[in-house]
Structures are given as structure tokens and as C-alpha cells.
Structure 1
Amino acid sequence: MLEWYRSSRRNAVLTGAVAFVIMVLGLTLIRGGELAWMQFWFVWAILVLASLGVYASSRATECAVGAEWLKVGKTWVRLYELTSIKARVRSNAIHIDLKDGAGREVKVSTSALQEDRDIWDLVYNGILHSVVAGHATTNGMVHSALQVPRPAPAQ
């Protein structure tokens, strides 16, 4: 099985536009409602560049997944050979850092993976197998946010 996902251009443009509006409103509020700052061209240039950065970062996610592997950008890992799984909050989303037995590492937002249900199912099954059967090291957020069960203690 092979699944592929690339962030939509429409959502990236919308995200960049919303970021621009929020920055304009925030700057206006910081200046006490004064609009005098709008006459300076370099402020507009900074706002446009920041908005383009937001656009580029939300457009950048491209991932593919097979039955046993996940590829994000140019990096990939074997999902059933994960040795380390860490989850953390970055900006407004949960990101996971996956490392396999060969030392390959992928860092990706769970929201990007969950855009396509089939991709998320394959990745989650690999994470689940690596934790329960492979004894991958994890942090608490993997278990709480992703609802991955903790492995049974060794007897």
C-alpha cells in the first residue's frame, strides 16, 4: 500500500493571509490604535515577508507512506523498527519525532499526517507496534496525546 499527501495551496494561502491580518491588527493594538505606523514602507515589507514565511512553512509538508515506512520531505524511517518516539507541542500542533534502528529520523506534525486517514492509520499502527512489541522509548505525551498504550513491564 502506498499513500501520498501534500499540503493544499489554498490552506497555505489562507494561513498566510490570516497571519498577515493578525500581525496588522496586533501592530495597531501595540501602537495604541494609532495608524501612523502604516506610512512606513519597511514595516509593510517585514509584514509581507513574515506572511510569506508562514505560507511557506504551511505549504512545506509532503509525506508518503508505505506499509512499513514513512517519508517526509527527503527523510524517511521504517515504521516497524522505531527505537525512539517523542511527541511535543510546537506552535499550535503536536509534532512527533520518530527515529528508527538505523538512526534515520523524521520530524512531522500529526495534523499533517491526519489530513489523510490512510496515512495516519499506517503511521499509527507502526508507532503502536514499535512501542508494544519493539519497546521503543517514548515520552509521556506519546501516551497521553496519541493514546498509545504503555508496554507491559518486563517480567
Structure 2
Amino acid sequence: MSAPTQPAPKPDSVTGQPRPPQAPVEASWKPYDKATDIDPDDPPPGKGPALEWFADAKRTMWGAAGFLFLLGVIFLSVKDGGIDWMGVWWLWLILVVFTSPLLLVRRGTRMTVGADWLRLAGDQWVDTYRLSTIRVTTGFGTYHLELTDAAGNKADTQVWYLQKNRKLWDLLYNGILHSIVHHGADVNRRAVEHLHLQAVIRKPPIT
């Protein structure tokens, strides 16, 4: 997908219309199952309703936990040179303790957007149309998006996770474009490159 040259109109804060066009995503993007048993977060004070949200579905987390459990079994079998370890009950307990937290943190993966706001699990939220700083950093093989708005509110999480709900990402991305074009948000070079912002940058990237 080509880099955008300008932001789309800001959606209405209540209806969310008109929705922005589809935003660029990472090359490895794929659709994910959304939880049906977790509701969106409440909007920040003075903001319109939630329009899109995402939290991992139960089966996604069960699959991740099962995969880690299997890796643990393989690791112990290789380390032991066989399967004799399977008769040691406390090794099974370690595997369960190691993998079960994934099943307990689904609500902590929730993210919610309105027409002009993003809220992550807990108290992290930003006004997406008044961003002052937009940074992308790297770590553990993933790209991390760090946002700060004009009021000093901050939110940060992995880019690929924000893109799990494509419509959520579209709303957030349009706010990023508006913040750059209309409010002169500072953007680091990695964000320019990874988020395809080359055509909207008005000043040199920050470090």
C-alpha cells in the first residue's frame, strides 16, 4: 500500500462517520479473532463513544499457551535426552505455571478507540488528533509505538497489536496524520519509515 499524502477528514465524534480509508499495515499483517466476551473500555472524560476495540479471543490465548507448553515439553525432552522427566510431577507443575498466565491476561490486551482517542488497558489514553510526539522503537523483534498528546497523556504498545483490528488502526492512523499535518507533531525517523509517513512530514524527524 502506498504512503498517504494527506489525512482524511476527521470523523464525527459520535457517529464515527465518515470512516477514514484503510491505513498501511506491516507486511506480516494477518486477521485475528476478536474476543466476544470482553466489552470496550469507557471513553476518557469529555470524549465520544467507543467505535472500535480489540482483545484477544479465548482460543487465541489457549493456542498461545498450548504452543508454549509444547515448547517446554520439547525443551525438557532434549535437555533430559529422553522422556524420563515426565515421571517428575513438579516439572509438569513448572510447565503449567509458566504457560497459564497467558490465559489470565486477556483483559490486559484490550484496546479501544473513538473518533479522536485511543485507550489501552489501564489508564493509558491519548487524544489522537492532538499528538505532540510520535515515536517507533524496536525491541524483541517487534516495533513499539509510543504516543504523547498535547496534554502530556501517554500510550504505548506494539504496532502489530494495534493492527489486529484493522478498523481500529485506520482511526488511529488518521489521527496520527492530522497531528503531523495540522499540529506539527514531532516524529522520529523510525516512525516515518515504519508507518509510511514520508509524504506528510513537514519538518526533520527527531532522534
- Partner Cα separation in structure 2 for residue 84 and residue 106 of structure 1: 11
Kindly state the Cα deviation for residue 68 of structure 1 after the two structures are TM-superposed.
0.7
Residue 152 (str. 1) matches residue 202 (str. 2): yes
The equivalent of 2:57 in structure 1 is 8
Task: Give the 3-state SS of the residue equivalent to 2:183 in structure 1.
Answer: coil
The equivalent of 2:71 in structure 1 is 22
2:71 counterpart letter in structure 1: I
Residue 137 (str. 1) matches residue 186 (str. 2): yes
Task: Give the 3-state SS of the residue equivalent to 2:168 in structure 1.
Answer: helix
The equivalent of 1:73 in structure 2 is 121
Aligned CA RMSD, in angstroms, stands at: 2.3
Q: Which runs of 5+ in 1 are unaligned?
A: none
Kindly state the Cα deviation for residue 51 of structure 1 after the two structures are TM-superposed.
0.9
- Partner Cα separation in structure 1 for residue 62 and residue 182 of structure 2: 42
TM-score by length of 2: 0.65
Identify if the C-alpha distance between structure 1 residues 45 and 82 changes in structure 2 by more than 3 Å, giving closer, same or farther: same
**Percent of aligned pairs with the same residue?**
32
Kindly state the Cα deviation for residue 32 of structure 1 after the two structures are TM-superposed.
5.6
Runs of 4 or more, structure 1, over 4 Å off, are none
The equivalent of 1:106 in structure 2 is 155
Which sits farther off after the overlay, 123-132 or 77-86? 123-132
Task: Give the 3-state SS of the residue equivalent to 1:60 in structure 2.
Answer: helix
Residue 64 (str. 1) matches residue 118 (str. 2): no
The equivalent of 2:90 in structure 1 is 42
Question: Does structure 1 conserve the Cα–Cα contact (< 8 Å) formed by 2:109 and 2:121?
Answer: yes
Higher relative contact order (CA 8 A, sep 6+): 2
- Partner Cα separation in structure 1 for residue 89 and residue 129 of structure 2: 53
Higher-helix-fraction structure: 1
How far does the alpha carbon of each residue in 1:59-96 deviate from its partner, in whole angstroms, 9 at most, with x for none?
63111111110111132110011122222334454221
How far does the alpha carbon of each residue in 1:3-57 deviate from its partner, in whole angstroms, 9 at most, with x for none?
222221111111111111112212322x163323333322222211121123445
Q: Which runs of 5+ in 2 are unaligned?
A: 1-15, 17-50
2:144 counterpart letter in structure 1: H
TM-score by length of 1: 0.83
- Partner Cα separation in structure 1 for residue 97 and residue 107 of structure 2: 15
Kindly state the Cα deviation for residue 126 of structure 1 after the two structures are TM-superposed.
1.1
1:128 counterpart letter in structure 2: L
- Partner Cα separation in structure 1 for residue 186 and residue 91 of structure 2: 46
